[in-house]
Structure 1
């Protein structure tokens, strides 16, 4: 995906931006400024579909890369704090970025939600997947295997987008005993087929649809990628199973979570990074770490110019060019002195104004997202930690300890000698190993824990007690207004 020439997105105007989906009414795919092609024309052959699918993956990357979503789980959970402004009238002051002020204070507004564009983008992507599913079987120049691969990727992306939305807009699966609390509008038809105003499913039904889409997709995948570019940039059978393992974990379906993660660990052919190359792998420019299962590559022009990456959020270039987000001491102090993961932090001293006094303060930027990093969606380390947590749920503490120790041994951290308090151990290991990869706040909710942000918290609300309606965000008001069947989340 790094070297595709066309910057194609299925572009719809904003009729259903305001309903429940950011899907559209204009029925056009835009190739270049001033050039538009009808959906029927674009999707009449396989090359047109491949071209549009590349654009869909580009839209996924864009939706995930930018704050507030890219920082949401780690900021809300307490892994992140803010660096001082590098220049301007607020130079050297700690200022909460305006684009995340609502969610950071656990008081996001439905009328001006910080993640409204993310909500819209996900449903736009979902609409695109439905178009691919509707057109795939009629492609005159595609083989059966190619048609199945198109459908497999479309189903997976549809499930993935719905799952991402569920993490932000629905309470954790067992918030109610039977998961009967509000879930999502689960879209299985493009608005090209029919304009509807559906109600939200329950969380139980939402997850059932997600899992059905994924398992159907797994049985359709072929071994031949559809599109040129790095294979790690597109969903395949292995990365789809990684998504499924994560969904099962979120559902606390321990048996299926264990079996799916175990299948990936045993049969994917992907190996964990070693202790010796762990830091070097994260430091290498442009390429993902070797254990990546899926990384959404950054957009590049035909000349190779990068238009944006996660470095804009987390990177450090110079004393006047750096990202707004740095590791909190709440996270940094969890690592033992000899833990090699401590070397994944870049320490820089920056003058910081506090109570009108400027003081040199040390900040820890992450090395995970320097240079031109892509968005790390799935990697093998997570599967070990999924298997560990699932093993614990299956009353197999020895396996849980073994998997936790596999990750700790690589990090040169102290190994667990017994099976005491393993639930806390796996929670903390996920926090350390998967930091800044979008997990912490969801892990807190899944484990029904409280949020406690200490170091660097500049919000009026630095803690959140579970359960709370503020563990999820409001559905944007514009969507509520135009779909009378779409109910708002509690407290919004």
Structure 2
């Protein structure tokens, strides 16, 4: 008979995490458990197991409390966006903790690297491991085989999702797939290739065991299914330069009738959009700001709606504007370089951004500053969910994979699906390099202010030093393409070593 397995701090980290708003201790250094509950108690029935899974999803959107910023509710969008060439912060150098992302001058003592990325990622992984291990160890007959299979597959997906961001932010990281807190504290950094193997295996398991549709959530796309796993596999294969498998997995998603490129740009980030593959749904207590992105990119006043055109010259007087700028600028806005990248007639600039005009005198440049409006503050009912995976990415993944394999006509066909939706003319690539450059441009203007795609794209394609090094405010070197391991983690886990250059 299987012995009863004890799961450290599961009572807080799983069953009660989002009721009381508490979180696990650090992943690599969990510390002595103060509360334990047995697997039978945590995973006795389908209901208790699904409650643990609900907590895992909730943590991704809510972090350690309502409106707390974490990597999966806007943190990656904002901070990886600043590390690339997408975003800058309104306060500039006066907020050096933020501006160090803009200038690529992070240190191991930057608290945000830990609080937004390292710790939340490993908390999610620990909780996913607790669910996977707890279900495997449970001997309860009230925990049905179908629930075991479904919940385990979802937890594996979320573990893989979090590890994907860990390796792309930090490089080699400790690969931890269990809940033994003493053993976890001793795990050294695992080679990136081995972590990717675990990511791929978890996603293949999830793809095999998850349902194909969204029936379990009444049609809402707020829990992962087979096609979410397939979409993540396509991305992973793209990042690993496995072009054939990237094309195969992306094609499986594109061919499924549940999904379609939404012809109306205004609808893409609505819950009803068929373009969404996976969304995170805000809790009813947090619907005014469904994610940190809405808060980060929404100013207090709208230049277009609140300032009549005949009064704008008054507001554009530098002495007046300096006092009022904080009302019209959000906390983070698009770089001039990004705004200028949109082609004439690109409807995404109108549909997915807002703007504020600036005075034509120092310290301003007279340029129109844009910021993302993909998400907005909401009223008493949630009208938007946070989109994690959407079909447009799969189309451009396949375009890139096809171009890499020499199928230029196929690459153009996919590329033009996205361009046509944006109101742009179609293109015909004359070479592989031409096609790849066009796809990279399209990814930039399609996925701006979404999940750090631009930062990761520059790194994976080897363009980061060339592109970012040309910007006067960047001090980018090869060592700064990875974030530093937080100092607290290095001090508490002697087996960890710092990334070079920090």
Farther-moved stretch of structure 1 (240-249 vs 224-233): 224-233
Match of 1:178 in 2: none
2:403 matches 1:371: no
Secondary structure, counterpart of 2:496 in structure 1: coil
Alignment of 1:58-457 (within 5 A): 58-62=58-62, 63-65=70-72, 68-83=75-90, 94=92, 97-117=95-115, 118-137=117-136, 138=138, 139-170=140-171, 183-191=172-180, 195-222=184-211, 231-267=220-256, 269-274=258-263, 277-282=264-269, 287=271, 289-301=273-285, 309-318=292-301, 320=327, 323-344=330-351, 345-349=353-357, 354-355=362-363, 362-372=368-378, 373-420=384-431, 421-437=434-450, 438-451=452-465, 452=467
Tell me the alpha carbon deviations over residues 67-119 of structure 1, each in whole angstroms, 9 at most, x when there is no partner: 64331332222122334x6xxxxxxxx55544423332222111334311120
**Structure 2: where are the runs of 5+ without partners?**
1-15, 63-69, 303-326, 379-383
Structure 1 position 66, deviation (Å): 5.5
How far apart, in 1, do the equivalents of 2:124 and 2:219 lie?
21
How far apart, in 1, do the equivalents of 2:160 and 2:485 lie?
19
**Structure 1: where are the runs of 5+ without partners?**
30-36, 86-93, 171-182
How far apart, in 2, do the equivalents of 1:147 and 1:107 lie?
45
> Do the aligned partners of 1:102 and 1:113 also contact (CA within 8 Å) in 2?
no
Structure 1 position 122, deviation (Å): 0.7
**Aligned alpha-carbon RMSD (Å):** 3.1
How far apart, in 2, do the equivalents of 1:329 and 1:305 lie?
29
How far apart, in 2, do the equivalents of 1:81 and 1:449 lie?
20
Q: Which has the higher strand share?
A: 1
Structure with the bigger RCO (C-alpha within 8 Å, sep 6+) is 1
Structure 1 position 140, deviation (Å): 2.9
- TM-score by length of structure 2 reads 0.80
Secondary structure, counterpart of 2:395 in structure 1: helix
How far apart, in 2, do the equivalents of 1:165 and 1:9 lie?
27
Q: Structure 1 residues 78, 112: closer, same or farther in 2, change over 3 A? A: closer
> Do the aligned partners of 2:163 and 2:199 also contact (CA within 8 Å) in 1?
yes
Q: What count of residue pairs does the alignment treat as equivalent?
A: 443
> Do the aligned partners of 1:388 and 1:404 also contact (CA within 8 Å) in 2?
yes
> Do the aligned partners of 1:316 and 1:365 also contact (CA within 8 Å) in 2?
no
> Do the aligned partners of 2:243 and 2:401 also contact (CA within 8 Å) in 1?
yes
Structure 1 position 230, deviation (Å): 6.4
Match of 2:495 in 1: 485
How far apart, in 1, do the equivalents of 2:481 and 2:193 lie?
18
Q: Structure 1 residues 69, 306: closer, same or farther in 2, change over 3 A? A: closer
Structure 1 position 375, deviation (Å): 2.9
Match of 1:177 in 2: none
Tell me the alpha carbon deviations over residues 221-245 of structure 1, each in whole angstroms, 9 at most, x when there is no partner: 1357697576322211111111111
How far apart, in 1, do the equivalents of 2:328 and 2:31 lie?
38
Q: Structure 1 residues 481, 359: closer, same or farther in 2, change over 3 A? A: closer
Secondary structure, counterpart of 1:114 in structure 2: helix
> Do the aligned partners of 2:17 and 2:23 also contact (CA within 8 Å) in 1?
no
Match of 2:479 in 1: 469
Q: Structure 1 residues 44, 258: closer, same or farther in 2, change over 3 A? A: same
Tell me the alpha carbon deviations over residues 35-65 of structure 1, each in whole angstroms, 9 at most, x when there is no partner: xx77763433322222222121121124235
How far apart, in 2, do the equivalents of 1:190 and 1:352 lie?
58
- TM-score by length of structure 1 reads 0.81
